[in-house]
Amino acid sequence: MSKNTAQLLGAIAAMLVMSWVFWQRLGPRPCSGGLFIELHPPLAEPGLYRFRVAIDGTPPCEFAVPLPVKADVDTKRCHWALELKTQTRGNQTTIAGLTVGAAPKWFQFQVKRNGESLYDTRVEPKYTPYPTQRHQNKRFCGEQAFVKPPCVRGSSECAPYRPMCSGPQDCPKPKACCVSPEWARDYGAKAASECGSTRGCLDRFALLACRADSDCPEDMACDDTSVASEFDPPLTTCRRKAAAR
């Protein structure tokens, strides 16, 4: 091999090495995945929420989020991309979820407010069969999993819910007491029972809380205990009367 040829090959090799270095530094990072944590119920009461996420035995990620959220959240102790999800219903904003840029085999998820444990569970995610491509989601591309960790039952954000009303007597006339554990899981504990119109309550498949048959429409009776265990103290709701034969 001639000296000129050797110099040329050396120059080419050096260019390839430099190109690789620049690609590693300036090119797009490998997709790390997306772990979408949905909170049911969402975090609704004002206060300072302390999050702790531990993934596959690595040092935990810890950060605090005030509600109402007023500024950027300090996540310097975390090793992954994070994105907080909030939602607003009426004049109330809640923390509805958290996305983590990772695809772990398991993770430990904890949330506390004023020392009270609201979420504390270990989850093994199940991933979708088709990873998300970078052009679809630049920040959370790769394997995707959607998880709904259970809340700590009996905590202030979880069932059994403290009813805001237990019958039409607790609401301004002509409103009724509308109860729905499903709405609490979507919008927060206070949405479990609220005053509203009878028609609006029934149209969204919620239930009418009652203390006597006279609290119910004429074709209903106050004897339904199907959601009693979801409230403390338990509630009785109106049930449609069986048709006479």
pTM here?
A: 0.81
Regarding whether 188 and 119 lie in a shared domain, the answer is: no
If asked whether residues 120 and 62 sit together in one domain, one would say yes
Does residue 12 sit within a domain? no
Q: Are residues 79 and 108 in the same domain?
A: yes
Residue 8 is assigned to a structural domain of this protein: no
- Residue range 67-87, pLDDT digits in tens: 988 777 878 778 889 999 999
Whether 44 and 111 share a structural domain:
yes
Assess contact for 216 and 196: CB atoms under 8 A.
Answer: no
Q: 177 and 126, same structural domain?
A: no
Which domain does 97 fall in, by range?
34-147
**What pLDDT sits at residue 78?**
86
The answer on 174 and 136 residing in a single domain is: no
Contacts of 193 (CB under 8 A, 6+ apart): 161, 163, 164, 165, 166, 177, 178, 179, 180, 209, 231, 235
- Residue 18 within any structural domain of the chain: no
46 and 81 share one domain: yes
For the stretch 131-186, pLDDT in tens is 999 889 988 999 999 999 999 999 999 999 999 999 999 999 999 999 999 999 99
> Which of 147, 177, 198 delimits the end of a domain?
147
Angle at 168 between CA 162 and CA 171, to 5 degrees: 75
Please indicate, yes or no, if residue 206 is contained in any of the structural domains.
Answer: yes
Mean pLDDT of the chain: 88
Query: Do residue 123 and residue 223 come from a single domain?
Result: no
